[in-house]
Amino acid sequence: MSSLFPALTAGPAAADRPALRFGERALTYGDLAAAAGAVAGDLAGARRVAVWAAPSLETAVAVTAALLAGVTVVPLNPRSGEKELGHILSDSAPGLVLTAPGTDLPAPLAGLPRIDVDPAVRAPGALPDDRDLDDAHPALIVYTSGTTGPPKGAVVPRRAIAATLDALADAWQWTGDDVLVHGLPLFHVHGLVLGTLGPLRRGGSVRHLGRFTTEGVARELNDGATMLFGVPTMYHRVAEALPGAPDLAKALAGARLLVSGSAALPVHDHERIAAATGRRVIERYGMTETLMNTSVRADGEARPGTVGVPLPGVELRLVEEDGSPVAAYDGETVGEIQVRGPNLFTEYLNRPDATAEAFTADGWFRTGDMAVRDPDGYVRIVGRKATDLIKSGGYKIGAGEIENALLEHPGVREAAVTGEPDADLGERIVAWVVPADPQSPPTPEALADHVAGRLAPHKRPRVVHHLDALPRNDMGKIMKRALHRG
């Protein structure tokens, strides 16, 4: 296959183009090629390496060097506990760990040979040629969140990275002229594959904020950045800040593309941002195992609450519980999303049982995500099969649409919806609400009437719990298993 990063091997033609910037530290394509060449030289003979994936220039250089050298990368979350790190290391068995000089690594990494990555060390002309690597060659092993047991390592091949990034280039009209700004972590596919490898594959540049702030977003977008990637928590902070931040409104209005992912962006935040800036945030849908499956297109309708249409090369279908395709794409019938295409992972490392369970006999991946699909192909996620599909009174109800309705109530700051056993209904709908004013929370009756008026009476919450905050993971996703039911 072709190189993952053509601009790095383009020689003098691209050498002076900006590639990476983290805070005040930056590398051109020429600098990055020389720095990655130096690291690649230290990886001779390595098959698999761990990368301490802090949001830093060193992480980007380390991952780029390893991928070009044909060495599989295991990104490590610096916030992981020692038990989780121990599991990942024993499962993936990396031969080395790459990190920034001076990093104090935790005990599970103490016995692993270490390479300190210094972007100032350059080896011009030493960059490996990755064009002869097989497209099935494992590029990354990314560990899932482990909500139902120890994290599983999803083996992501080179072809999945190339296919996803090229499909997004088509959908988003993404070119080498684009400058991306974000503050996403680099141990996950959103920040690492889309947010770092994506610009490098296009020959464009990325400016990483380090820590996400609305001030940083405004500064970078007003200074020539064209695209913003974020998760819903970040866009919620943007929406909250906009009324008092004219510079931020101007920055967002001037951006070419605003993209949200990793979880559903509440419609309320969509509308607040659009009202203040005249710009719509677009959403896309993907997973660790599939990279990206769908997106709203840059030249399409940014329809709030949807994740757009399947990307080029991706087959997508909705199925009933028995595996049969849903009868109609009518915007109402709920089914599980299954996908096929070159964007898929190849296996769960050392878990042939889990791999076999994840795929149908004819190669469709069972995502576990529930959705409806409009007649024109737009997909709307309604929740996870395990935690967000509520069967109440004979209806299949997605928690996501109820959460969006609750968030439109002025007395609700945050909301999550779950189901709990009910002798009459099968399951009853339970709302977990963070009030906008803790001293005067909305009553359960008011919230039930609010939802029933926007959706349907059978979708109203029967129980309401008030909380100070909702439990969330590093990507801003609500951890519903941490909510106590009953």
Please write the tens of the pLDDT for every residue from 44-70.
999 999 999 999 999 999 999 999 999
Q: Which residues pair with 25 in a beta bridge?
A: 22
Please determine, for residue 350, whether its predicted confidence score (pLDDT) is greater than 90.
Answer: yes
Each as own residue / partner, the long-range contacts of residues 240-248 (CB below 8 Å, 24 or more positions apart, any chain) are 241/214, 242/272, 242/273, 242/276, 242/277, 243/276, 245/214, 245/218, 247/218, 247/222, 248/214, 248/215, 248/217, 248/218
For range 95-100, the mean pLDDT = 98
**Which CATH number is 6-190 given?**
3.40.50.12780
Confidence at residue 146, expressed as pLDDT on a 0 to 100 scale = 55
Residues 6+ apart with CB under 8 A from 62: 39, 49, 51, 73, 98, 99, 117
Looking at residue 408, what is its pLDDT?
87
CATH class, range 389-482: alpha beta
Beta carbons within 10 angstroms of residue 351's beta carbon: 16
pLDDT attached to residue 176:
96
Residue-wise pLDDT tens digits, 440-456: 999 999 999 998 888 87
Kindly indicate the confidence band of residue 486, based on its pLDDT and cuts at 50, 70 and 90. Answer: very low
Instruction: Look at residue 414 and tell me whether its pLDDT is greater than 50.
Output: yes
- Banded pLDDT at 200 (limits 50, 70, 90): very high
Answer yes or no: is pLDDT of 395 > 80.
no
> Does residue 475 have a pLDDT over 70?
no
* Confidence (pLDDT) at 305: 84
Predicted confidence (pLDDT) per residue in 13-36, tens digit: 789 999 999 999 999 999 999 999
How far apart CA 300 and CA 330 sit, in angstroms, is 20
Nearest partner of 475 among 83, 187, 151, judged by Cα:
187
Amino acid occupying residue 272: R
Q: How many residues does the chain have?
A: 486
Task: Tell me where in the chain the CATH 3.30.300.30 domain(s) lie.
Answer: 389-482
Q: Is the distance from CB of 326 to CB of 335 less than 8 angstroms?
A: yes
pLDDT tens per residue across span 297-340: 999 998 888 999 999 999 999 999 889 999 889 888 889 999 99
Q: How far apart are CA 325 and CA 235, in angstroms?
A: 35
How large is the average pLDDT for residues 162-190? 97
pLDDT at 148 over 70: no
Residue 23's region, left for phi above 0, alpha for psi from -120 to 50, else beta, is: left
Show the tokens assigned to 480: 């519903």
Percent of the chain past pLDDT 70, that is, above it, reads: 97
Integer Cα distance of 461 and 459 in angstroms: 7
Backbone torsion region of residue 441, taken as left when φ is above 0, otherwise alpha when ψ lies between -120 and 50, otherwise beta: beta
pTM (2 decimals)?
Answer: 0.85
**Phi, psi angles (nearest 5°) of residue 156:** -105, 115
Which residues pair with residue 415 across a beta bridge? Answer: 433
DSSP H helical ranges for 347-457: 352-358, 399-407, 444-454
The alpha carbon of residue 98 and the mean position of all alpha carbons in its chain are separated, in whole angstroms, by: 23
Distance from C-alpha of 485 to C-alpha of 239, rounded to nearest angstrom: 31
Residue range(s) in the chain whose domain bears CATH number 3.40.50.12780: 6-190
Helical pair 214-221 and 246-254, crossing angle rounded to 10 deg: 50
Angle, CA of 200, 348 and 292, to the nearest 5° = 40
For residue 120, count CB atoms less than 10 angstroms from its CB and return exposed for 0-12, middle for 13-18, buried for 19 or more. exposed
Residue 27, beta-bridge partner list: 20
